[in-house]
Amino acid sequence: MKSKKVLFLALCSLVMAGLVFAGSAIAAEKYVVGIDGDYPPYSFIGEDGKPTGFDVESVQWIAEKMGFEVEVKPVAWDGIIPALLAKKIDLIYSGMTASEERRKVVAFSGIYWVVNQAICVRRDSDLNMITALAGKNKVGTQRGTTAAMWLEDNLVKGGYLSKDDLKLYDNFPLSIKDLENGRVESVMFDDIMVEKAIEGKDMKIIGTISTGEDYAVAMRKEDTKLQKMINDGLSMLMKSPKWLELKEKYDM
């Protein structure tokens, strides 16, 4: 009898251990989401010191609905793809353009937003689109962005803008600050970002370049399961009342 009882207890222990193991196996997977921490309204650090924004709330909603967890982590934008490839992060969900160049090294989700490039100047400036970008005036933007790539490919390489007159910054707010202080004559960046950045400032938008850039979520090419979850979650989000709520909240 004693041996049977011991055997029974041992079996119970094994079953319980199996349940614990199974529970850990089916526990929500956790993914680290890389963002640009100075990219309102998409991703930024709130007054409470925590990441927030349209993209941040989007991925948090998707994670909850799809049954996984996320840790949102600010990463320097010019190093964010290398961080993804090095597995320091698992996703980039922060207003990233799904360009052909980037598609060569990472996989993208479906498209969730489309932007163009806007050019802003100080309100007292008499510059127009041509003189601002193809003259002898300094143009600012954030390094590693599609704005920087466009300026380099279309103006610097074409000889219309001196390389010395293209000023690249670690983040977009720094370029706006230098425009405000007269260190550059214009700034080029994603249209909705520019609109938000110059609110309440003595600046104006003088035009836009229709680049039609598709925003999508980036991940490693081998992470096909994660890609499917993000695509399914995005589809659910964009059909839900939450999508309209987020657009209204962040004035998109």
Give the Cα separation of 34 and 73 in Å (integer): 5
Does residue 192 register a pLDDT over 60?
Answer: yes
**Confidence label for 93 from pLDDT (cuts 50, 70 and 90):** very high
Q: Name the percent of the chain in helix, strand, coil, to the closest 5.
A: 45, 25, 30
Do 100 and 175 form a contact (C-beta atoms < 8 A)?
no
Order the strands of the 38-39 sheet from edge to edge: 38-39, 43-45, 51-52
- Alpha helix (H) ranges present in the chain? 2-26, 54-66, 80-85, 100-103, 129-134, 146-151, 172-180, 191-197, 224-239, 241-249
What average pLDDT is seen over the chain? 90
Do 81 and 92 form a contact (C-beta atoms < 8 A)?
yes
User: What per-residue confidence (pLDDT) applies to 11?
Assistant: 42
**Confidence label for 84 from pLDDT (cuts 50, 70 and 90):** very high
User: What per-residue confidence (pLDDT) applies to 10?
Assistant: 43
Model confidence pLDDT, tens digit, residues 114-170: 999 999 999 999 999 999 998 789 999 999 999 999 999 999 999 999 999 999 999
Tell me if residue 124 falls in helix, strand or coil.
coil
231 or 5: which leads in pLDDT: 231
Does residue 27 register a pLDDT over 70?
Answer: no
Do 110 and 70 form a contact (C-beta atoms < 8 A)?
no
Rounded alpha-carbon distances, angstroms, from residue 105 to 81, 83, 114, 116: 9, 12, 21, 23
**Lookup: tokens for 67:** 């049954």
Does residue 216 register a pLDDT over 90?
Answer: yes
User: What per-residue confidence (pLDDT) applies to 221?
Assistant: 98
Does residue 72 register a pLDDT over 90?
Answer: yes
Give the Cα separation of 174 and 148 in Å (integer): 14
Rounded alpha-carbon distances, angstroms, from residue 32 to 35, 216, 245: 10, 16, 25
Give the Cα separation of 85 and 182 in Å (integer): 38
Rounded alpha-carbon distances, angstroms, from residue 184 to 120, 167, 250: 11, 8, 28
User: What per-residue confidence (pLDDT) applies to 15?
Assistant: 42
193 or 4: which leads in pLDDT: 193
Does residue 19 register a pLDDT over 50?
Answer: no
Give the Cα separation of 108 and 115 in Å (integer): 17
Classify residue 216 as exposed, middle or buried by CB count within 10 Å of its CB (0-12, 13-18, 19+): buried
Report the predicted TM-score, pTM, of the whole model to 2 decimal places: 0.80
Q: Show the domains of the chain with their CATH numbers.
A: 28-114+215-249 (3.40.190.10), 115-213 (3.40.190.10)
**Confidence label for 21 from pLDDT (cuts 50, 70 and 90):** very low
Instruction: Report which residue type is found at 48.
Output: D
Does residue 8 register a pLDDT over 60?
Answer: no
User: What per-residue confidence (pLDDT) applies to 134?
Assistant: 85
